């Protein structure tokens, strides 16, 4: 059965992998991006080559009006939304909390928490059967950092992802009776571009060997889990936070 999926931060990394895998199922995918239009349009081309339909939508997830417009554009192109992947997120260079300035903290929490809540709120408004939607699935992107704490590196990022865990649990209880499932994925050391943003491009490769599986994960491996949660195969799964961490 074809689905309509909106993925924030869909132009790179885990979001891009999930978008392409959704396309392989023949789904229609809206690929949100912040600034890299070229990467977003390349993702769209890959989705179409895989058999799906796709559009690219620029939006800042911290801007309420932009988030609403992003959902409007998705529905105008493809119809009612079946799934929302709350994936957009940022990390800053590694530092101890004592060395983090207010601007950094606001940037991380605005994107990773406020942005995620705005997206989830709009998805709830569009998808809830009691509000005229047809139900569906929300998949939030958390992180293993939420339970590990990321000391002396990214405690701000870790805290922001702890908020995603709480959002997932609470919203699953709110929306379950309204036909919407809400789950989260907690990636571990995944080999994506985000580590370069944190100042350590080889971080996943270096630390991945310390996991029980002895390697970092790939964006495709996380994408598979996301697409499963979007699919009808996970129809009795809600309120779950699934680790994709290689056992870390």
Predicted local confidence at residue 194, as pLDDT:
60
pLDDT of residue 137: 99
Residue 113 has what DSSP assignment? I
- Quick one: pLDDT at residue 241? 99
45: CATH: 3.40.50.720
Q: Say what the pLDDT of residue 215 is.
A: 87
Q: Which entry of 33, 117, 157, 236 is annotated as an active-site residue?
A: 157
pTM of the model: 0.94
154 carries an active-site annotation? no
Distance CA 88, CA 122 (A): 15
DSSP 3-state percent helix, strand, coil across the chain (nearest 5): 50, 15, 35
Q: Which domain holds residue 213?
A: 4-244
> Left (φ > 0), alpha (ψ -120 to 50) or beta: where does 171 sit?
alpha
- The pLDDT value given to residue 172: 99
Mention every residue, 6+ apart, whose C-beta is less than 8 A from residue 62. 110, 111, 114, 115, 118
Closest CA to 12 of 217, 161, 193: 193
Please report where in the chains the tokens 């702890």 appear, as a residue. 162
Q: Which position has the token pair 């978008």?
A: 19
What are phi and psi for residue 4, nearest 5 degrees? -110, 120
Ranges under pLDDT 50 in the chain = 196
The number of domains in the chain is 1
Given this model, what pLDDT does residue 228 score? Answer: 99
Residue from 127, 158, 159, 155 nearest 145 by CA: 158
pLDDT digits (tens, 9 = 90+) for 106-138: 999 999 999 999 999 999 999 999 999 999 999
Token digits for 228? 């499963």
Q: Write down the pLDDT at residue 133.
A: 97
**Residues 6 or more apart from 56 whose CB is under 8 A from it?**
11, 30, 31, 32, 33, 37, 40, 41, 43, 44
Instruction: Provide the pLDDT for residue 198.
Output: 54
């Amino acid at each position: 059965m074809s689905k309509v999926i909106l993925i924030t931060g869909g132009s790179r990394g885990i979001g891009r992998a999930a978008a392409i895998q959704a396309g392989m199922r023949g789904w229609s995918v809206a690929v949100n991006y912040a600034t890299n239009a070229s990467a977003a349009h390349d993702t769209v081309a890959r989705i179409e080559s895989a058999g799906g339909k796709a559009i690219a939508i620029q939006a800042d997830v911290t801007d309420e009006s932009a988030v609403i417009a992003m959902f409007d554009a998705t529905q105008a192109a493809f119809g009612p939304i079946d799934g929302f992947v709350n994936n957009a997120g940022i990390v800053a260079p590694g530092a101890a909390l004592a060395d983090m300035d207010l601007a950094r903290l606001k940037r991380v929490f605005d994107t990773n928490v406020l942005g995620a809540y705005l997206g989830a709120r709009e998805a709830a408004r569009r998808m809830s059967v009691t509000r005229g939607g047809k139900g569906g699935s929300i998949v939030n992107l958390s992180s293993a950092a939420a339970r590990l704490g990321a000391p002396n590196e990214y405690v701000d990022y870790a805290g922001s992802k702890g908020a995603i865990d709480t959002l997932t649990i609470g919203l699953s209880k709110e929306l379950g009776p309204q036909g919407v499932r809400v789950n989260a994925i907690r990636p571990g050391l995944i080999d994506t571009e985000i580590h370069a943003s944190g100042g350590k491009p080889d971080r996943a490769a270096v630390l991945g060997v310390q996991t029980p599986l002895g390697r970092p994960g790939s964006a495709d491996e996380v994408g598979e889990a996301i697409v499963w949660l979007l699919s009808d195969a996970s129809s009795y799964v809600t309120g779950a936070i699934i680790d994709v961490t290689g056992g870390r």
